[in-house]
Amino acid sequence: MRTLVRFFAFVGLLLALVVSARAAVTAKYRAYGENVLHVYNWGDYIDPALLERFQEETGIRVVYETFDSNEEMLAKLRQGGTSYDVAVPSDYAIQRLIREGLLLPLDHDRLPNLRYIDPRFLDLPFDPGNRYSVPYFWGTLGIAYRPDRVPFEIRSWRDLWSLDLRGQVLLVDGPREVVGIGLQTLGYSLNDADPAHLEEAKALLDTLVPNVKAIVGDEIRVLLAQDEASVGVIWSGDAKSVLEHNPSFEYVIPEEGSNIWFDNFVIPKTARNVEGAYKFINFFLDPEVAAQNAEYVGYATPNREAFALLPEEVTSDERFYPPEEVLRRLEVYLDLGRDAVARYNELFLEFKMHRK
């Protein structure tokens, strides 16, 4: 009987705790009221502690959704089914959103922390004058590899074709990235839309197939960190994460050049909480916030004051903050127009089918 009493007492206490916790959460969201902000960003691309801090400081509840590619993000914004207040597209996608009239022009007076951004990352070709976007992170596309398992030093895209790398190479699942490797290996621009050059790049990529172990998305970090492959074409922030978990890897930016990309905050034209969107963007432009976010995410910050707050071992690492002579070899993806983008997608799909 005493055991039964203790059991019901325990169940009662458990229910009380659950009800109390639910009441606390409900009270918290009630405090936020109807002030909700819908944010659309890449996966694992923001410090959750900073999201919590923003909510507590502003009383704005953040509804956070993620996407895996610019193409997925573009399709969602075009459909207009969900009204996002802040999104984080990349350079060429921003250019396309501007051209299609899907973004609100920004009032820089409402973003005082914009003054902390390094001028090198402002006024770029995809958004002159930053009329529609402000920098969030930037990085490169390169090659992560294990020097102790690859019998030569990888320095170029061409090295991916080595017979020593049979079945060892992971590729990112992106048409611009993979077709771009073929183009740059042939000496062409990443923004080349010449049909003959694209076919030439595709033919070259087909000869890479024996070396390709898989074409993957975000899981490339885990696969490399767990030694599932010795070589991976990967974005710099993801490479930094791999190196932190598996110091046997190295990261190189190919000598032919590569892509330098920029992810920026934008406010879609369908935004319902524009005031909250400005507060959110300005919050993440704050140097102390941007530095904490950069340490969490691992990508390079365009915030000059935040850069100064980061540990020296981070900012002096030229693999992730490359010097000017390397930056000059890098290209920003430009919006090539609907027809050329469709051709890139077709060639990439054919390349993937060729592997089967």
Give the integer Cα–Cα distance in Å for 121 and 299.
14
Residue 353's pLDDT is: 86
CATH of 139-260+331-355, picked from 3.40.190.10, 3.30.70.20, 3.40.50.300, 1.25.10.10, is: 3.40.190.10
Number of neighbours of residue 311 by Cβ within 10 angstroms: 10
Query: What b/e readout covers 141-178, taking b as 16+ CB neighbours within 10 angstroms?
Result: bbbbbbeeebeeebeebbbbbbeebeebbbbbbbbbbb
Residue 70's pLDDT is: 87
Say whether 92 counts as a known binding-site residue: yes
Query: What is the residue-level pLDDT of the chain in tens, covering all 356 positions?
Result: 444 444 445 445 445 544 454 444 444 445 555 799 999 999 889 999 999 999 999 999 999 999 988 888 999 999 877 789 999 999 999 999 999 999 999 999 999 999 999 999 999 999 999 999 999 999 999 999 999 999 999 999 999 999 999 999 999 988 999 999 999 999 999 999 999 999 999 999 999 999 999 999 888 999 999 999 999 999 998 999 899 999 999 999 999 999 999 999 999 999 999 999 999 999 999 999 999 999 999 899 999 999 999 999 999 999 999 999 999 999 999 889 889 989 999 999 999 987 66
Cβ-Cβ contacts under 8 Å for 95 (sequence gap 6 or more): 126, 127, 334, 335
DSSP state of 75: H
Residue 84's pLDDT is: 96
Residue 82's pLDDT is: 75
Domain ranges of the chain: 32-138+262-322, 139-260+331-355
| 3-state class (DSSP) for residue 145 | strand
Residue among 299, 214, 287 at smallest CA distance from 41: 299
Cα diameter, the chain: 86
Residue 180's pLDDT is: 96
- CA 76 from chain centre, in angstroms, equals 17
Structural contact between residues 60 and 275, judged by C-beta atoms closer than 8 angstroms: no
Residue 267 identity: I
- CA 140 from chain centre, in angstroms, equals 10
- What is the CATH number that goes with domain 32-138+262-322? 3.40.190.10
